[in-house]
């Protein structure tokens, strides 16, 4: 290897990079991080570019890992280092408490636009009186089903988890007998990550088993309803759910459902637009309802998800970046995103907009589910939330794999959470 | 006497210039390896968090072990940590063992003269040349239970009747990681062994052939003892690598505690849970465990790294 050539080549590469950097000086360049689940990245880019065209600035869209656990890890490293690489961050509904101090107060940049959004989410994003993030879209877990298969075998969409289990098994067995041997009953997010926390919280809340840690910060998870909920989920693996579900996140579950290999799926609203797209094998045969109740006494519920936009304190152009946030969270842009991608608006008025309802009919029916979604215990546990969530998903994962019974897993979980909060959260 | 004084003068000059030439590397090493190590050990005695790295207090050994209101806390009493230590050591022993055997077979094959040998030698290096993160993701898809190619093949030829969830089931997840690691690093092992094989003097083999000794006996009595020093170096290299495995496990199975290695555990504490102090304590233990294991291996293998393999 000739080292002189090597050095020459790297020097050339460096000069080119510097020249490219200098050429963007016209207008202001802002970068935004967007998720890339399904068509999320494209829709984000379209919105950001529309803003860039209007304002004469330029915008770079950065895609981030699909797993929210990994995305948070990436953000933490960037923000802890004070990096100015990303100006606008797309953050999860549970992160304002963890990341808040790295973001600017958006209230003064929004012209009062924040008052149009759901007050609960705005409050969630307000840390110590500072609006650290603007609501972009909200999410709640939903139950998707194959309307054609349910109709063929004479079933209705289930209203309880037990009924879902029975229906899934009956349809799966009947279809397999007819030679459709790839078919499974139910797929969900069973990998040991934040998504399993969302799923397991839904099972427990549907049985009125609380939300792991109550708003006062007490550990409430070891109760009979929660045990009943997890025990039922533990019976699914290998029966109505493939064993692989233990390593599925959102997109793996959608892959199985959308290729026609599952009767039911738990997922977020974004799947609606993709499953019904013209190139989807199950287009037109997909139904969606609120997640089932945990028995007759239980309730329909869904974990509150959703994403916010925040501006980094380390940004070189915080005001321009805040303007991008204002544009992306506005009524018009949220409407476009709802129609094109079925992203739930955070503005109540959009749920009555005829054009939105025509594109995504279930927004009207499931309005209550979205507004009353159960929140993960990120407020009472503050900075410890990630550890709480990790303990919770591990306990749930142990029940699913059969490594522990529900009683055992929840008793262990209770003691480890109590240990963790020994000096307060 | 004059002679000896002169030669020691020369030696000293040589030593001086050796240090001069070494100093840039030592400075770089101190900056990129020494400083982070010292800082990690320093942080392990604090309660620093990732959200605010400039504000922390010294808490002594509390991250390692602490007695509080009748119970023990800290890395040393955390069963998840010991699970991770066990996983890492199990992984290292099994994967390095398999790589050694397979690498030896590949090296012996490639040592024979046959047409196209150069091409084949280059070709077997491909798995080693692919970045781990890429090959791990690629294997992640191939091992997928529903649309993975591996299940399709095995079901096609009738070995299994139901798709196996390779990376999801606790029984197979660590084996899946081992398999991918063996696939990836066997070429490296084979290359090191091949280099040693090529250095061997041919007269021993001629003598053995003249005496009509069984080739298997030749391998165990002649080849193996001769390449043992090189073999030990290869094993130590691989073991060092395997003991700090992170990327492969993280991509294939995420943070699952069934497969978490020591590095995965430390990273989760440091980054996901923001506990820089506690995570640094785990990293410090990781460093000590690896150092200890390598010292033991060196002593048991009676390898002197300073000596040229003969």
Residue of B255, B267, B268 to mutate, testing the A interface (most A Cβ within 10 Å of its Cβ): B255
Range of the domain at B171: 81-301
Residues on B contacting A at a C-beta cutoff of 8 Å:
49-53, 68-69, 71, 73, 144-147, 163-165, 167-170, 253-258, 268, 271-274
What pLDDT, on the 0 to 100 scale, is given for residue B304?
57
In a domain, B109, yes or no: yes
What pLDDT, on the 0 to 100 scale, is given for residue A328?
96
| Nearest-10 crossing angle of helices B79-111, B170-198 | 40
Distance from CA of A238 to the nearest CA of B (A): 11
What pLDDT, on the 0 to 100 scale, is given for residue B29?
94
What pLDDT, on the 0 to 100 scale, is given for residue A109?
92
d(CA A184, CA A238): 10
What pLDDT, on the 0 to 100 scale, is given for residue A13?
46
In a domain, B21, yes or no: no
- Yes or no: say if B25 and B11 are a contact pair by the CB < 8 Å rule: no
In a domain, B114, yes or no: yes
Q: Residue B3 pLDDT more than 90?
A: no
Q: State what percent of residues in chain A have pLDDT above 90.
A: 67
Instruction: Please indicate if any CB of chain B lies within 8 Å of the CB of A403.
Output: yes
Give the pLDDT mean for A277-299: 92
Cβ contacts (< 8 Å) between A387 and chain B: which residues? 273
- Bridge partners, A86 (sequence order): none
pLDDT confidence tier of residue A18, bands split at 50, 70 and 90? very low
Max mean pLDDT range (A14-28, A198-212, A410-424): A198-212
Is the Cβ pair A422, B69 closer than 8 Å?
yes
Task: Supply the mean pLDDT for chain B.
Answer: 88
Task: Note which residues in 215-254 of chain A have CB less than 8 A from chain B.
Answer: 242-248, 252
Q: Which of A69, A246, A387 sits opposite B169 (nearest CB)?
A: A246
Cβ contacts (< 8 Å) between B168 and chain A: which residues? 190-191, 243-248
Q: Which of B168, B257, B271 sits opposite A77 (nearest CB)?
A: B271
Give the pLDDT mean for A6-34: 57
Which tokens go with B49?
A: 């968090």
Give the pLDDT mean for A200-223: 93
Is the Cβ pair A242, B146 closer than 8 Å?
yes
Is the Cβ pair A242, B163 closer than 8 Å?
yes
What pLDDT, on the 0 to 100 scale, is given for residue A182?
86
Cβ contacts (< 8 Å) between A245 and chain B: which residues? 168
**If you search the block for the tokens 């990096």, which residue do you land on?**
A83
Instruction: Please indicate if any CB of chain B lies within 8 Å of the CB of A415.
Output: no
Residue B148: closest CA among B135, B161, B165: B165
What pLDDT, on the 0 to 100 scale, is given for residue A25?
40
Q: Is the ipTM of this complex over 0.90?
A: no
Q: What is the 3-state secondary structure (H, E, C) of chain A?
A: CCHHHHHHHHHHHHHHHHHHHHHCCCCCEEEEEECCCCCHHHHHHHHHHHHHHHHCCEEEEEECCCCHHHHHHHHHHHHHCCCCCCCEEEEECCCHHHHHHHECCCHHHCCCHHHHECHHHHHHCEECCEECCEEEEEEECEEEEEHHHHHHCCCCCCCEHHHHHHHHHHHHHHHHHCCCCCCEEEECCCCCCHHHHHHHHHHHHHCCCCCCECCCCCECCCCHHHHHHHHHHHHHECCCECHHHHHCCHHHHHHHHHCCCEEEEEECCCHHHHHCCCCCCCCCCEEEEECCECCCCCCCCCEEEEEEEEEECCCCCHHHHHHHHHHHCCHHHHHHHHHHHCCECCEHHHHHCHHHHHHCCHHHHCHHHHHCCECCCHHHHHHHHHHHHHHHHHHHHHHHHCCCCHHHHHHHHHHHHHHHCCCCC
Domains and CATH numbers, chain A: 27-139+304-371 (3.40.190.10), 142-303+375-420 (3.40.190.10)
In a domain, B13, yes or no: no
pLDDT in tens, A37-64: 888 999 999 999 999 999 999 999 998 8
What pLDDT, on the 0 to 100 scale, is given for residue B135?
92
d(CA A173, CA A357): 36
In a domain, B220, yes or no: yes
- Yes or no: say if A346 and A139 are a contact pair by the CB < 8 Å rule: no
Is the Cβ pair A242, B253 closer than 8 Å?
no
Is the Cβ pair B165, A191 closer than 8 Å?
no
Please tell me the total count of domains within chain B.
1
Q: Residue B282 pLDDT more than 80?
A: yes
Q: Which of B144, B145, B272 sits opposite A73 (nearest CB)?
A: B272
pLDDT in tens, A353-371: 999 999 988 898 888 888 8
In a domain, B116, yes or no: yes
- Yes or no: say if A226 and A214 are a contact pair by the CB < 8 Å rule: no
Instruction: Please indicate if any CB of chain B lies within 8 Å of the CB of A383.
Output: yes
pLDDT confidence tier of residue A26, bands split at 50, 70 and 90? low
Residue of B51, B143, B174 to mutate, testing the A interface (most A Cβ within 10 Å of its Cβ): B51
What pLDDT, on the 0 to 100 scale, is given for residue A11?
46
Is the Cβ pair B170, A401 closer than 8 Å?
yes
Q: How many CB pairs under 8 A join A and B?
A: 88
Task: Find the closest chain B residue to A246 by CA distance.
Answer: B168
Is the Cβ pair A401, B50 closer than 8 Å?
no
What pLDDT, on the 0 to 100 scale, is given for residue A20?
42
pLDDT confidence tier of residue A274, bands split at 50, 70 and 90? very high
Is the Cβ pair B144, A261 closer than 8 Å?
no
pLDDT confidence tier of residue A32, bands split at 50, 70 and 90? very high
Give the pLDDT mean for B114-128: 87
Is the Cβ pair A192, B73 closer than 8 Å?
no
In a domain, B276, yes or no: yes
d(CA A162, CA A144): 16
Cβ contacts (< 8 Å) between B255 and chain A: which residues? 69, 192-193, 390
In a domain, B260, yes or no: yes
Which of A248-257, A313-322, B1-10, B283-292 has the lowest average pLDDT?
A: B1-10
Q: Please report how many Cα atoms fall inside a 13 Å half-sphere around the Cα of residue A144, on the Cβ side.
A: 30
Residue A186: closest CA among A151, A150, A154: A150
What pLDDT, on the 0 to 100 scale, is given for residue B298?
81
Is the Cβ pair A69, B254 closer than 8 Å?
yes
pLDDT in tens, B127-161: 988 999 999 999 998 998 877 899 999 989 988 88
Q: Residue A329 pLDDT more than 50?
A: yes
* pLDDT higher at B213 or B97: B97
Q: State what percent of residues in chain B have pLDDT above 90.
A: 45
Q: Assign residue B149 the CATH number of its domain.
A: 1.10.3720.10
Q: Residue A334 pLDDT more than 90?
A: yes
Is the Cβ pair B51, A383 closer than 8 Å?
yes
What pLDDT, on the 0 to 100 scale, is given for residue B147?
79
pLDDT in tens, B232-281: 888 988 998 999 899 999 888 877 788 899 999 999 998 888 889 999 99
Contacts of residue B36, defined as CB under 8 A and 6 or more positions apart, other chains included, come to: none
Residue of A67, A243, A418, A421 to mutate, testing the B interface (most B Cβ within 10 Å of its Cβ): A243
Residue A191: closest CA among A410, A396, A409, A405: A396
* pLDDT higher at B169 or B139: B139
């Amino acid at each position: 290897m000739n080292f002189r050539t090597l050095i020459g080549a790297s020097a050339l590469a460096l000069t080119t990079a510097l020249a490219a950097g200098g050429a963007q000086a016209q207008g202001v360049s802002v970068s935004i991080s967007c998720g890339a689940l399904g068509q999320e990245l494209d829709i984000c880019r379209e919105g950001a570019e529309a803003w860039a065209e209007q304002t004469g600035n330029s915008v770079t869209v950065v895609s981030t890992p699909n797993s929210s656990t990994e995305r948070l890890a990436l953000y933490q490293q960037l923000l802890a280092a004070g990096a100015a690489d990303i100006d606008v961050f797309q953050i999860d509904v549970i992160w304002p408490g963890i990341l808040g101090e790295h973001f600017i107060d958006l209230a003064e940049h929004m012209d009062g636009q924040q008052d149009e959004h759901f007050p609960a989410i705005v409050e969630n994003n307000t840390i110590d009186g500072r609006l650290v993030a603007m609501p972009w879209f909200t999410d709640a877990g939903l139950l998707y089903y194959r309307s054609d298969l349910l109709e063929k075998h004479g079933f209705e969409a289930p209203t309880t988890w037990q009924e879902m289990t029975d229906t899934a098994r009956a349809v799966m067995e009947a279809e397999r007998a007819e030679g459709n041997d790839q078919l499974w009953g139910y797929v969900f997010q069973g990998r040991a990550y934040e998504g399993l926390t969302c799923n397991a919280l839904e099972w427990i809340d549907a049985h009125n088993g609380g939300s792991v840690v109550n708003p006062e910060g007490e550990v409430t998870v070891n109760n009979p309803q929660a045990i009943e909920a997890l025990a039922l989920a533990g019976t699914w693996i290998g029966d109505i759910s493939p064993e692989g579900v233990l390593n599925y996140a959102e997109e793996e579950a959608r892959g199985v459902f959308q290729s026609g290999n599952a009767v039911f799926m738990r997922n977020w609203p974004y799947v609606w637009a993709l499953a019904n797209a013209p190139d989807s094998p199950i287009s037109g045969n997909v139904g969606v309802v609120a997640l089932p109740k945990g028995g007759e006494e239980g309730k329909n519920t869904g974990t509150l998800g959703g994403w916010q936009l925040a501006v980094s304190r380390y940004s070189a152009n915080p005001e321009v970046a805040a303007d991008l946030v204002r544009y992306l969270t506005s009524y018009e842009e949220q409407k476009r995103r709802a129609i094109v991608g079925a992203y739930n608006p955070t503005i109540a008025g959009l749920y009555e907009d005829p054009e939105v309802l025509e594109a995504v009919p279930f927004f009207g029916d499931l309005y209550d589910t979205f507004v009353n979604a159960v929140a993960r215990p990120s407020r009472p546990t503050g900075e410890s939330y990630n550890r709480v969530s990790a303990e919770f998903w591990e306990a749930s994962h142990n029940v699913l794999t059969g490594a522990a019974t529900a009683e055992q897993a929840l008793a262990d979980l209770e003691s480890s959470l109590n240990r963790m909060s020994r000096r307060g959260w | 006497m004059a002679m000896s004084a002169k030669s020691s003068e020369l030696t000293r000059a040589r030593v001086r210039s050796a240090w001069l030439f070494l100093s840039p590397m030592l400075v770089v090493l101190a900056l990129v390896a020494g400083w982070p190590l010292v800082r990690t050990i320093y942080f392990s005695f604090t309660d620093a968090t990732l959200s605010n790295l400039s504000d922390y207090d010294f808490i002594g050994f509390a991250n390692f072990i602490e007695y509080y209101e009748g119970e023990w806390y800290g890395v040393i009493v955390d069963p998840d940590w010991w699970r991770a230590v066990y996983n890492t050591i199990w992984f290292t022993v099994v994967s390095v063992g398999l790589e050694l055997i397979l690498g030896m077979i590949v090296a012996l094959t490639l040592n024979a003269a046959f047409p196209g040998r150069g091409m084949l030698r280059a070709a077997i290096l491909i798995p080693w040349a692919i970045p781990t993160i890429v090959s791990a993701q690629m294997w992640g898809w191939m091992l997928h239970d529903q649309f993975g190619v591996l299940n399709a093949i095995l079901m096609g030829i009738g070995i299994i009747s139901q798709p196996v969830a390779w990376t999801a089931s606790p029984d197979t997840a660590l084996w899946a990681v081992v398999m991918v690691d063996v696939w990836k690093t066997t070429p490296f092992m084979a290359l090191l062994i091949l280099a040693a094989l090529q250095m061997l003097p041919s007269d021993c083999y001629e003598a053995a052939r003249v005496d009509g000794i069984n080739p298997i006996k030749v391998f165990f009595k002649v080849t193996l003892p001769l390449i043992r020093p090189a073999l030990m170096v290869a094993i130590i290299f691989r073991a060092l690598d395997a003991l700090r495995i992170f990327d492969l496990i993280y991509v294939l199975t995420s943070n699952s505690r069934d497969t978490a290695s020591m590095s995965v555990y430390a990273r989760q504490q440091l980054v996901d849970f923001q506990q820089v102090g506690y995570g640094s304590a785990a990293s410090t233990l990781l460093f000590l465990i690896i150092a200890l294991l390598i010292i033991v291996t060196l002593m048991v293998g009676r390898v002197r790294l300073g000596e040229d393999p003969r």
